[in-house]
Structure 1
Amino acid sequence: MALLKSMNSGVSGLNAFQKKMDVIGNNIANVETIGFKSSRVTFSQLMSKNEARSGAGSAAPQLTDQIGLGVRVGSVDRDFSQGALQSTGMNTDLAIEGDGFFVVNNNGQNFYSRAGNFAFNKDGFLVSGDGNMIQGFMADANGNVNTGTLEDLRVDFEGTVPPKRTEVVTVGGNLNSSTSTYRVLQSQSSLKVSGSSAQASSLLNDLDQTSAPFANGDALTLDIILPDGTAPVNPITFTYGVDGTTVEDMVNVYNAQLSPLDVSMSIVDGVISVRSTVMGETDLEVRGLDIVGAGSLNFPVFNTISEGSTGSHTISTTVFDTLGNQHSLIVRIIQEAEDSWTYEASFLDGETITSGKTGNIDFLNGDVVQSNFELTYESTNGTSNTITIALGDPQEGISFNQYGGTTTLKALSQDGYGQGKLIDVGISGDGMLEGVYDNGNTVPIAFLALADVQNVSGLEQVTGGLFKASSAAGEIITGFAGEMGSSVAAGFLESSNVDLAREFTEMITSQRAYQSNARVITTSDEMLVEAVNLKR
């Protein structure tokens, strides 16, 4: 009877929406499950029944009347979109940003998971919350990683690294080309006009220090001792009216006469500065001002604010010999000329430097000419050790320059270390497990493996949020996070990607659809009852 078909359609609807509710319930139940991927249900129509149509034949709009026979679940699809990352502060909690799966092993079989709640067990193996072994690529004693075979990741927390002698010390920064190498004198008080600092354009006769005005022809001779300790052969004289009448005129005239004698003069905000223009210690001294004429000026006393000295800078670092013993290396760099410096190397504890103790460092247009120098020393155990002092490292963006400005020169790194004991393990964005040792050194221990699945929808889900390979998944490639375009975030976990608002909406529509299909069944039943009653 035809009414039975409508009842069957209603029953198929009940079955289909019951299965959809099963999926919705599973999604909601796993809203807090780490790495969980939600699912959705799609429906497809069951085969229709064709009813013959009489009449117009091929001229009719359709040859048959088609009546559907209900619905069935077409597919249950998994949503592999990225879940939000939540911070945990535990460095063994890991989350994948991007595509890929962690590889875990259970009794010799590999599974795949997005849940990264890992920890080290008592034997040093990195395991999942269910105790499955996390897979990766182990490194050898020198930090070289074997990418050939997946292994259980293990850290030897009692392990040590052997010492390594220092081979290269990298030095970088700037040597101040004008580092305190000149003697500078400065007036103890400033020239003033009406109590305010005099400017370059201020008239000499307007100065507060001028007690009697100058007249044209008055001679103001500077009493000065030159850097070499002698007095000028020709007096350093400014003639008022002839050479000018302002403070700037006086300074400019003095400068013109002093420049050939390795001395310069300047004035800023009424303060006069006189400096030697040759490096090293000098006898430069300003004793006063001798005036011949009508005028009178209370010329200020000059103090030494910077003693002339040859520029020198000292850098120090700790280096290691073949047995891991520490030695304090000191390198003193001394300026000999504008673009020429020398270095002197020594050790704080007196180790003997057999070669390379001294040498030259030259600059051209501010850039160092030499790339490095070498020194060889004998350690206390009698072994000979050679160290290369690298003056900058262009490949690493480290420069070694001589420009005007602050001296920033320092030893930036050295590649040696003593024996170290493991104190911590860090995990980088590319999945590398690095051992952190108490000697300050970090050594690669292993790389976490990630799996790239050709068709993630083809993976078969098993208990514990794990997936296993199937023929539908296609090719599965394992490698590092970085080479797969993904990254690993340590101290984070990937949350479930279940959208509760969407699930509740789907629940409401499923409930109404289920009720409607149930109403189809009851209505069809009532119609059958009416048909039966026709016989009465």
Structure 2
Amino acid sequence: TNTHTHTYVLEDSGASNDDFNSLADLIGEINNDFSGSIQVTLNSSGALEFSYDGTGNATISITSNNAVLESALTEANGTVSDDGAGNVVTTTTDEFSHRATENDLLVNLRNSSGQSLNLSSGDALAISCLKNGALITGNFTVSSSSTLADLNTQIASVLGLSETTQVSIDSSGRLNIQGDPGADNELSAISISESNNSVLGSTMSFTEIQEAKDAKYSTNVTIYDALGHKHTLTLTFKKTVIPGQWTWEAQLGGDETISAGGQGKLAFNPDGSLLSFTYDGGATALQFNPNNGADPMNVILDVGTTSSYDGLTQFSAPSAVVINSQDGYASGNLSSISIAQNGEITGLFTNGVTKTLAQIVLAVFNNPSGLLKVGDNMFSTSANSGAPAKGAVGEVIQSTILPGSLEMSNVDLAEEFTDMIVAQRGFQANARVITTSDDMLNELVNLKR
């Protein structure tokens, strides 16, 4: 029996002194003690391999007064033997190649060199980072039952991440933190430390930090409430880490209060056409209160038809969003009116809106001469005129209106002049008859005298 004792120390002064402070150091001490008859190596997978180059059977037993290490060594102990054909049988164990998982207790963690992270119940871990240049901090208190999953949840909470799953442990045992989309959520200078614990500080140093890149675009549109007051709506689109998917958010620049539909998700097909446009929270429209006396508003955001190119699209080109139309207007006063040939009376308002105000209706009678004159160029129906046939211009009555025109005289002047001359001659003739009659009466009077 060949027994050697190796002691873990914080700092090892050198080889061949039976002290070690890392797994590699322990391997070197074992290989030195057994002078080549037993060789211990650490393979590429991180597993310890014990090789025996003698004959017969050899039993290797490694024990420790550390409960955690003793548990691992119990699994690692085994028999190395010659199979009789000159081949060495090698026993391997993953107890020393174990990669951290979210179920591992924090008090049991070691670094990649086999050193304990020296965490114990009651230790306070300080969590800090710069988020878009602003310092944020938090703490986590270790308990005997705390796992890496518990620490991950607290890290996500301190950093203000949208999902706890954005902090995870990968298959290599490394801690990965994925920030939220957008350059304004960039994370840097991440630190997880515990006072006077240099091993934890060096282990939790983040050597790979990916620079946050932003894909964001905003556009503005003016909308109007029922009182004609305008509101400036800003739509901001942000690219997510998932290809073809964006988030959008609506903001109003005044005292308005958004009650629903203020944000959502946008997705595109691989060909760049629209896949989906949704509101968060099950909303179907943007709803907000103008807070100015007007009624609450529902604003429908029409971004196009799915699987088509008549609205929002995604292509490899600079972003541009154009608001094609909106059906609201500011308040306006009636500034002028016009009459069309079809009889429509249209009003033009100071806000640029044109609306049809009225329709001129025409009427015809079977006997227009039977109308009763009531004065001021007005007539009334009678039994002789018959009931009127009424309708819009060009419908019941095939005629048109000439707006802005004055009617010329509809009198036949030649006929009227002829009638006037005839009347004049008649008057003259009648006047002469009266004169002759008067002369005759005078003569009769004279005869009597």
More strand by share: 1
TM-score by structure 1 length? 0.27
Over alpha carbons, which structure has the higher Rg? 2
Whose relative contact order is higher, 1 or 2, with alpha carbons under 8 Å and at least 6 apart? 1
